[in-house]
Amino acid sequence: MYFEHSIKTEVPVKVVYETLRDDLAELVDYIPNVSRIEVLERKKTKESINVLNKWYGKYQIPAIVEKVIKIHEIAWFDRAQWMNDDYACVWSIEPLILKEYVDVHGRNTYSSDGKYSTVKITGDINIDLGNYPLVPSILRKRVNNEISRITLALIKPNFTKLIKGLEQYIKAGKSKGRSTR
């Protein structure tokens, strides 16, 4: 299932791009549904910077769900290739739970019209519980669609919260000397 979402900010595009690429783990205090981000790998090549992050979600989940999904399991790996010449990032997400049933990947682009920077996320989410033993075969298509719909409903507000958190981080003077003008 394809998705896209754009958000504008007055933060200069270079600062947005470099802050998300280089300071993501430090933005946690400004992202309400994330408890921490660990940078597991960071490799520079001539054309890009490749990063592997592990995100830990901070969610209120119903008690009945918590018996099945432990709160520490709401985490995911984020693999990102930041292409500096294009101000773009190709990424994929691998959840720690149900990872063999979920495929999420996409591309973020960063642009400016001189006044505003635009961050655009595009991607695909594919959830296929076809072989998941706890979902009866007669319900799998409906469950796949419902989980995809719920996940997509979270992506846009979470992405918006990330960019709003970045704005707060910059306003707090945490941008590691990057010029915000």
One DSSP character per residue, 34-88 reads EEEEEEEEEEE-SSEEEEEEEEEE-----HHHHTTS-GGG-EEEEEEEEETTTTE
Structural domain that includes position 141: 2-171
Residue pair 19/170 in contact by the 8 Å Cβ criterion: yes
Distance linking the first and last C-alpha atoms of the chain: 38
- The pLDDT confidence band at residue 96, using thresholds 50, 70 and 90, is confident
Residue-wise pLDDT tens digits, 21-71: 999 999 999 988 889 999 999 999 999 999 999 999 887 666 655 655 566
Give the chain's domain count: 1
Portion of the chain with pLDDT greater than 90, in percent: 56
- The pLDDT confidence band at residue 179, using thresholds 50, 70 and 90, is low
- The pLDDT confidence band at residue 137, using thresholds 50, 70 and 90, is confident
Side by side, the strands of the sheet bearing 34-44 are 2-9, 117-127, 102-112, 88-95, 75-83, 48-57, 34-44
- The pLDDT confidence band at residue 12, using thresholds 50, 70 and 90, is very high
Within-domain flag for 71: yes
- The pLDDT confidence band at residue 154, using thresholds 50, 70 and 90, is confident
Within-domain flag for 118: yes
| pLDDT for the residue 181 | 52
Within-domain flag for 120: yes
Query: Can you give the CATH number for the domain in which 67 is found?
Result: 3.30.530.20
Within-domain flag for 109: yes
Within-domain flag for 92: yes
Between CA 53 and CA 41 the distance in angstroms is 7
Within-domain flag for 176: no
